[in-house]
Structures are given as C-alpha cells and as structure tokens.
Structure 1
Amino acid sequence: MNAHIASPASSPIALIDADAIIRSARTVIATEADAIRALEPRIGADFVEACRLILACSGRVVVIGMGKSGHIGRKMAATFASTGTPAFFVHPGEASHGDLGMIQPQDIVLALSNSGETDEILFILPVIKRQGIPLIAMTGNDQSSLAKQADLHLDTSVALEACPLGLAPTSSTTAALVMGDALAVALLDARGFTSEDFARSHPAGSLGRRLLLHINDIMHTGEGVPMVAPDASLTQALMEMTRKHLGMTAVVDAERRLLGVFTDGDLRRALDDDGVDLRGASVAELMTRGPKTISSDKLAIEAAQLMERHQIHALLVVDHEQHVVGALNIHDLLRARVV
C-alpha cells in the first residue's frame, strides 16, 4: 500500500503563521504574569497564620492534589523538604485505599484544588478532620466545599486561564506553584535556614559540593605531594614536577616546612633571564618565596576562589606551622566538579 506523502505546499507545517505563534506564546506569558501579580495583595493574615501553623507542626506537611494540581503538589512538597520544612506528597486517590495511614495526627495537610470540589479530596476530608489534623486549602474558589472545610484558605484564583479554550489548567497551576514557593521561602526565612542547611539536603548537587567538600577531601597527600630540598638542582625540581603532575613543586626544609614554590612560571622566567646559570643554580635561587597556600580544613570552593583571584593553577596545603601536608591544582577541582 502506498503511503500518502503530503507535498510541501499542503503540509500543515508550511501553513504555520509565525507571527500568530509568537502572539499566542506572548499572550500566554502575559496572562500568567498577570495571574502571579494578582497574588501579591492576597498575602496577608491567612498566609501568616498558615506559616505559623506549619512552623509549630511537630510532624510533616502532607500535600495532596489530583491531576495537574497533583503535579504542582509534588513539586511543592519537594521544595518544602529541601528548604527545611519536612513534607511529602500523598495522592488523594490512593489515600482512600490505604495511604491515609501515612498521615499522622501531628501532621498538617495542604490540599490543592483549583475548583475546591475535587471528589477524591473531599472524600477523605472527614477522616482528616476526625483526627484533628489542621487543613490548609489552596483553591481558586473561596466558596468551595474544600475552602469552607479548611482551617485556613489561601486564594489562588485567576481571572482566566492562559489556554484560549479556558480549559487546560495553565494560569491556575502557575498561581498555585508560585503560592507554594512563597510559602516555602517565607518558612525558610522564618527558620533561619542557611545555604549550608540547603547543601546538606543536596550533597550531590553543585551547591552541595561547594559547601560540603573540603580541601582534605581532594588534595594529594604523602608521596603524591611534589617536594624538593632548597639545594636541589633545576633538573631535580623538573623531574619531581613531572612525576607528580601538578605543575609545581614545594621547596621545603628538612622538617617539611615551606620555603617556597617552583612552578612552570618560574621556569619560564628563568629561561628568559640571561643572568641565570640554569646548570649551576639551585631551585632556592629560582623559586617564588611566600607562595599562596591554604589549610586542609578550608572548603574546596575557597581554593578555587584563591586560584582565580591570584591567577594561579595550583596550591600547597600547609598546617599552622607551615608544614606542607598536601597539594592540589585546578584539575582536582574540576574533577570534583567544584568549578
């Protein structure tokens, strides 16, 4: 059977009006932006009381919602949990088939429904109310069944959906998402939640690595640290640099106290200096004195900042008595994904 192949002229793609597409997309953005702006004056006493309830909660915030509200609810619970407010999502349809056991008397329920008439949510409300669990509703209708049964109602109503048919949840889900973010950040501020706290719940993320990874987690130690005595020749220093692959070598005394550093840059400067006897000079004559160093208890991101500030590519790690205990370079930071 021969498949019909539309000619370019009859293809729907060929009939697309680029200007109409742009107008449509911009209208969606403008409509949703208006919906968000309309939320601002609604942040008042009920919002504050909702924050107080959650802050006083000894359990968790249990977020429930169906359909698109459920998707927003999942994101909301994840944002709460990662910003210091213990939370999780329960599907209201599954709740009536056993998952209600996940909700305990010390918890708070945050229910999302634009209409406020979602059957799956209304069906489980009596059980939640009987347990004395506080209920915060987030709806687009303050006269809805859900809003009236809630202890607190947060108004996320919108003038119109961005969908031209007025059917697909668009502006309403955006408004609910933003209201959830407002709650999460207000709670974060009230708790005094810090970037370090955030990093502890995101150890695998870039922020976690920046705030949790220390120098001693990634530095070279022991035989991996390039070191030579001050009377070492240029050839000996270069051989040590080559073996250890860090582009430098520490110059230390007999007790491994730092005297200076010899780098690729020092070698280039020596080669450019006609007054230097490269065959007879010791590394102490060519090294840089007072090099930049760091201690092992510092964060790895501090090493990256130090390297960037001084335009260097490696650092020696020293203790409080200036003994060399380690070394690292920019490649170590890149492998650790700190930079």
Structure 2
Amino acid sequence: MTSALPPVAKATPQALELARQVLRIEADAVAALIGRIGADFLAAVDLVLACKGRLIVSGMGKSGHIGRKIAATFASTGTPAYFVHPAEASHGDLGMITGEDVVVALSNSGESEELVRIVPILKRQGAKLIAMTGNPASSLGRQADVHLDAAVAQEACPLGLAPTASTTAALALGDALAVAVLDARGFGPDDFARSHPGGTLGRRLLTHVRDVMRPQEAVPTIGPDASLADAVLATSRGGLGMTAVVDAAHRVLGIFTDGDLRRTFEKKLDFNTVAIADVMTRTPRTIGPEKLAVEAVEMMERHHINQLIVTDPAGQLLGALNMHDLFRAKVI
C-alpha cells in the first residue's frame, strides 16, 4: 500500500505580514548602528589604513558568509583582503596570516570556539584584531584591539534562532568600514575600474570616446557651400546618420542629420539649389576624445540626439560616433 503524499503548503496572508516584519526588524537593526559609530569605528579605520600587510576577515557559519562579502568589498575598493576560515586556520591556514596583517573577526556571540582558539596565536604574531560582535564583554570583544558593536535587539527569525538581523547588521557595518577606508585612501573611479576590468563596470569606467569613435577619414564631410543634395548623398554613404559641415581647415561649422533631412522635406525646399549652410544645425554638440564613452551616452540622452562629433579644443574634426557604436562597445 502506498501512503498518501503530504499536502503541499501554500502561502497565506500571514506570510506577507511576516515578511514585512522581517524587513522592519532588519531595518531597525541597521538603523541602530548609526548611534554607535564613534571613536572605536575611527580606530578601526586607522588600523586598516596603517596595515602594512593584508586585511584578513574570518568568521564561522553565517558570519563566515558575511565575512567573505566584506573581504571582497575591501579587495575591490583598494584594500588587499581575503577570507580565512577559522577552522581551517587551526589546521595550517594560520600560515597565511602575518604580524603585519589586520584581522577582522565576526561573531555575534563573540564566543565562536574556532575564532577564540586562534586569537592568542594571532596576538603573539603581532597581528592587530578588530572584533565585530554583539557582545563587547565576550572573549573576542575583550581581546580585540578594537571592538565594533554589532548587537541587535532581536533576530528576524520568528524562532529567534536563524542569524538574520545580526548578519544584516554585520554586513552593513562591514560596508561602512570599507567605504570609510575607501574615502580616506582617496580611492576613485579610475582605481575602481582597474580592479573591475572584465565586466560592465570596467567597460563603463575604462572605455573612452577615442576607443569607440569612427576616425576622421570615416566621417562624411562637406563644405558650407555644398548643396542640400550633396549633404543627403554624403549622409547616405557615411552610415552615421549625419554628415559634418567643415571649413577648409576641417574645423566643424555644423552638422546635417537624418532629423534635419526630415525637417527640410516639410519645408519643400529645392535640394539642388539650397546650400547646406542654410539648413544645417549650427554649433552642434561635440565631445573630446579623452572623455569617457559613458559621458557621450549621457550627453546624447540629455539632448535627445543620436550622433556626436568628436573635436579637439580648437574645434577641428577628429571623428564621430553614434548610439550604434556605443551599443557595439557594450557601453550601453
């Protein structure tokens, strides 16, 4: 005889209220940290800034997961950092930590056996210890060079068992420490880009206009005395949706775009007799080759245009680009 399968549980309206309660509890836990930021926090920032070695982050269980994220945040914002599992540390990985390192130890209770066990060894080596716990009087709190209070009033778990609000608070406090150190180091967008070269962030921060623009010889150009018909032909051949109007020295006088062409149709002008100087857009939007490609995107979106002429400070044509070029470069 086969036994009946248990009924499938379904969400109830109570689930929504419980979810809202979890978010309220965790938000309150993070907000409560604000009033505790003071001299100890500044001392922790100074310890990290003075570190001649690496920042080592360690924690057991859920605190360990949070510690990995904190280490990754520091590493990507200018502070060499990595995570060391405290249990593995007792079995050889302590060799990864030197006396010039600073250790950030995470434990809500401050009594995690694996962490407490290795603290005396770390101290004998000369490493500095920042403890992030919910109990300043704990073993970790007492032995730390700096203690950061991450206590929470309650866990968001209705059983009061699963680390929830406490891990959220620890993560937020770790982020606060990383950002404070980042700012003190003068870490900027270019520094960030160097540690994020492979993804979208890297492309946005490292790609310049000169990297994606079409060179001068690939940009359709005509003189100001050319006819409207000449402009249409040049625009059609160029594949940019525009042609630049330049003088004999290749200084930009104006631009003629597909949009300008549509407007001339409405005026029913004679394409063979009208000079381009009479219908072009004068003083067009331009950008320098040293600008970031994302600045070109922002300019195009702000002014509702699809093409940009690239010039030097004297206004001489260097190249051009359109939205398709930016799409191909995966800047957008």
Post-superposition offset of 1:240: 2.7
1:277-298 Cα shifts (integer Å, max 9, x gaps): 2133343443233222222112
Q: Which residue pairs with 1:283 in the alignment?
A: 276
Contact 2:216 2:320 in 1 (8 A): no
Q: Is the counterpart of residue 325 in structure 1 residue 322 in structure 2?
A: no
Aligned CA distance change for structure 1 residues 32 and 257 (closer, same or farther; 3 Å): closer
Matching residue within 148, 160, 172 for 1:166:
160
Alignment match, 1:49: 43
- 1:302 match: 295
Structure 1, unmatched stretches of 5+, are: none
Matched, 1:115 2:115: no
Quick one: which amino acid aligns to residue 57 of structure 1? C
Counterpart AA for 2:293: A
Shift of 1:134: 0.6
Between the aligned partners of 2:313 and 2:147, the Cα distance in structure 1 is 58
User: Which residue in 2 is equivalent to 1:74?
Assistant: 68
Q: Could you say which residue in structure 2 is the equivalent of 1:100?
A: 94
Per-residue deviation at 1:68?
A: 0.5
- What is aligned with 1:30? 24
Checking the alignment, whether the CA contact within 8 Å between 2:229 and 2:271 is kept in structure 1 is no
TM, length-normalised to structure 2: 0.90
Could you say if the C-alpha distance between residues 267 and 35 of structure 1 is closer, same or farther in structure 2, counting changes exceeding 3 Å?
A: closer
SS at the partner of 1:106? coil
Could you tell me how far apart the structure 2 residues matched to 1:218 and 1:75 are?
34
* Contact 2:309/2:317 (<8 A) preserved: yes
Q: Write out per-residue CA displacement over residues 76-135 of structure 1, whole angstroms, 9 at most, x where no aligned residue.
A: 111122233222111122223332222122110111111222222223223211111111
Q: How many residues align?
A: 332
Q: 1:38 to 1:272 in 2, by over 3 A?
A: closer
Q: 1:193 maps to which residue? A: 187
Q: Distance in 2 between matches of 1:233 and 1:307?
A: 27
Equivalent residue, structure 2, for 1:12? 9
Structure 1 pair 77/244, CA: closer, same or farther in 2 (3 Å)?
same
CA distance in 2, matches of 1:309, 1:32: 38
> Relative to 1, partners in 2 of residues 1:247 and 1:121: Cα closer, same or farther, differing over 3 Å?
same
Amino acid at match of 1:12: A
User: 2:257 matched to which residue of 1?
Assistant: 263
- Structure 1 counterpart SS, 2:263: helix
Q: CA-atom RMSD, angstroms?
A: 2.4
- Residues 202-228 of structure 1: CA deviation (Å, up to 9, x unaligned): 334555444432110110115422223
Question: For residues 141 and 321 of structure 1, do their structure 2 counterparts lie closer, same or farther at Cα, with a shift above 3 Å needed?
Answer: closer
Q: In structure 2, what is the equivalent of residue 214 of structure 1?
A: 208
Give the alignment of 1:85-164 within 5 angstroms.
85-164=79-158
Identity rate of aligned residues, in percent?
61
TM-score normalised by L of structure 1: 0.88
Look up the SS of the partner of 1:153 in the other structure.
Answer: strand
Identify if the C-alpha distance between structure 1 residues 228 and 11 changes in structure 2 by more than 3 Å, giving closer, same or farther: same
